[in-house]
Amino acid sequence: MSKLSRHQAILELLGSGPVPSQEELQRLLHRKGVDAGQATLSRDIRELGLVKTAEGYSLPANGNGNGNGHSYSDVALPSVSRLVREFVTSVRTAQNLLVTKTSVGSAQPVAAALDGENWPEAIGTIAGDDTILIVCTDSRSAGRLAGRIQGMLA
């Protein structure tokens, strides 16, 4: 699982409230299919700027951020072409839809990067764990966008 996906999972868990300890956070992540060792988890906590309160680890006072006053969604992602090359395994069109398969745990960061491109063909994306659904304006747009993404795979 990518660091970005792991960070997103941590932020989702803490969005429900504080987590009492690193061990509990590690257990909750494991339940979500995210295996992270103690050293990795400590580094993630530091990078995300999480705070330790009497109730446990929680998001900083500025919201769901990385400790620098910006929301996590503002953090720069690697280039879309790099993410596509590294994680996308296939792209298939179905009328005005693109079904994009990724390696396990990679769909969300790839979808975020694709959304960040603001391509006129794409209306929006929905990401699961290993699949991204891209809704396009019409079937012709879907074909153009599929070609662009497939070109990045080469």
CATH code of the domain in which 94 resides: 3.30.1360.40
- 139, 142, 151, 96: which is closest to 119 by C-alpha? 142
Tokens describing residue 32: 């979500």
Which of 38, 57, 74 corresponds to the end of one domain?
74
- Do 50 and 67 lie in one domain? The reply is yes
pTM value? Answer: 0.54
**CATH number, domain containing residue 31:** 1.10.10.10
Q: Is the dihedral of CA 86, 90, 81, 94 positive or negative?
A: negative
| Residues spanned by the domain of 66 | 3-74
Tokens describing residue 22: 């690193």
- Do 44 and 63 lie in one domain? The reply is yes
pLDDT tens per residue across all 154 residues of the chain: 678 888 888 888 888 889 999 999 999 999 989 888 888 898 888 888 888 888 888 887 644 444 443 344 444 446 788 889 989 999 999 999 999 999 888 888 888 889 888 899 999 999 998 999 999 999 999 999 999 999 999 7
Angle (CA) 10-7-92 rounded to 5° is: 115
List Cα–Cα distances, 134 to 12, 57, 82, 96, 102, in angstroms: 23, 35, 18, 9, 13
> How many structural domains is the chain composed of?
2
